[in-house]
Amino acid sequence: AQSVAQPEDQVNVAEGNPLTVKCTYSVSGNPYLFWYVQYPNRGLQFLLKYITGDNLVKGSYGFEAEFNKSQTSFHLKKPSALVSDSALYFCAVRPYSGAGSYQLTFGKGTKLSVIP
Amino acid sequence: GAVVSQHPSRVICKSGTSVKIECRSLDFQATTMFWYRQFPKQSLMLMATSNEGSKATYEQGVEKDKFLINHASLTLSTLTVTSAHPEDSSFYICSAPERISGGPADTQYFGPGTRLTVL
């Protein structure tokens, strides 16, 4: 069975500084990896995904993530944090198991606080 | 990206009543939709997979007679919480994959969620 670990419950970063939200995964076979962001009392918004190809994936709002197969990691990064980036971030994995299989396994989430 | 809507956004009901939550894919068709439940400061827990034209698939521990799912069309799935009790109070979120390749690489898009409070 697949699993996702987000080792930090909370990450604090000063506005303008680079940010990293960590994610490691465990899955049989090739992973499909996703990052979502959730604002209070809202659903999840898709940020980016890794399917194949270039290990550095660029997504919405200036976010990017780097797939590292040897370390089974998919850390979310942004060069310069904004106060508006403060939210709850979820990493998710889906193994390739044939067409029609869409079930995602989520990490527990990391709360990002960007301090002005 | 694709848009998924949910209605209502929040609902308050008395214990013992039933509540229906709608999930719609607005600009794409979804033969499969997912229903999640999220407790405060916790991750999403998959409750069930809604399949258009067939029965929903429930995760272990989820009562199918309590959480009725109907996938009436390619753009609509409904979750009915029957005989609701205070412990059913939670944030319910639906999602639908946008079928680009028809496989697990497709992105799943989420609705804005429904806050259910059972008094």
Per-position pLDDT tens, chain A of length 116: 788 999 999 999 999 999 999 999 998 888 899 999 999 878 899 999 998 888 999 999 999 999 999 999 999 999 999 999 999 999 999 876 654 456 788 999 999 999 99
CA distance A9 to A7: 7
Closest CA to A34 of A12, A59, A71, A10: A59
Interface test with A, best of B10, B22, B43, B62 (most A CBs within 10 A): B43
Task: For strands B4-7 and B57-58, give the pairing.
Answer: unpaired
Residues of chain B contacting residue A49, judged by C-beta atoms under 8 Å apart: 105, 107
